[in-house]
Amino acid sequence: MPPFEAGSVWLVGAGPGDAGLLTLYAYEALRQADVLVYDALVGQDILELTGPDTILEYAGKRGGKPSPKQNDITERLIALAREGKKVLRLKGGDPYIFGRGGEEALTLAAHNVPFRVIPGISSGVGGLAYAGIPLTHRETNSAVTFLTGHDASGKIPNVNWDHIAKGSPVIVVYMGVKHIRSISERLIRYGRNKSESVAIIFKATTEDQKVVITTLETAADDLNKSKLKPPALIVIGDVVKLRPELDWYGKFLALGAKG
User: The domain spanning residue 91 has which CATH number?
Assistant: 3.40.1010.10
Range of the domain at 101: 8-121
Q: Is 2 a member of any domain?
A: no
At which of 75, 105, 121 does a domain end?
121
Domain co-membership, 92 together with 147: no
pLDDT at 24 over 80: yes
What average pLDDT does range 150-159 have in this prediction? 91
What are the residue numbers of the active site? 39, 61, 175
Q: Tell me, yes or no, whether 117 and 200 share the same domain.
A: no
pLDDT at 134: 98
pTM to 2 decimal places: 0.93
3-class state of residue 12 by DSSP: strand
pLDDT number for residue 60: 79
Q: What angle do CA 210, 216, 217 make, to 5 degrees?
A: 115
Residue 161 and residue 115 share a domain = no
Task: Check which CATH number belongs to the domain holding 154 and give it.
Answer: 3.30.950.10
Residues 36 and 154 occupy one common structural domain: no
Give residue 244's pLDDT: 96
Residue 1 in any domain: the answer is no
Q: For residues 66 and 78, state if they share a domain.
A: yes
pLDDT reading at 258 higher than 50? no
Give φ, ψ of 108 to 5 degrees: -60, -45
| CA-atom Rg of the chain in angstroms | 19
Write out pLDDT tens, residues 68-124.
Answer: 888 999 999 999 999 999 999 999 999 999 999 999 999 999 999 999 999 999 999
On whether both 143 and 215 belong to a single domain, the answer is yes
Whether residue 76 sits in one domain with residue 60:
yes
Q: CA-to-CA distance for 242 and 245, rounded, in angstroms? A: 6
User: Looking at the structure, do residues 129 and 117 belong to the same domain, yes or no?
Assistant: no
Task: Evaluate if residue 66 carries a pLDDT over 90.
Answer: no
Residues 115 and 178 in one domain: no
137 and 244: one domain?
Answer: yes
Q: How far apart are the first and last CA of the chain?
A: 39
- Domain finish residue from 92, 121, 150: 121
- Considering the domain boundaries, does residue 191 fall inside one? yes
With cut-offs at 50, 70 and 90, classify the pLDDT of residue 67.
low
- Percentage of residues in the chain with pLDDT exceeding 90? 90
Pairing type for strands 232-236 and 170-174 reads: antiparallel
Domain boundary among 63, 89, 121: 121
pLDDT per position as a tens digit, 226-250: 999 999 999 999 999 999 999 999 9
- pLDDT (0 to 100) of residue 5: 97
- What gap in Å lies between CA 138 and CA 123, rounded to an integer? 21
Residue 153 banded pLDDT, cuts 50, 70, 90: confident
Is 15 a residue whose pLDDT tops 90?
Answer: yes
Q: At what angle do helices 70-82 and 101-110 cross, to 10 degrees?
A: 50
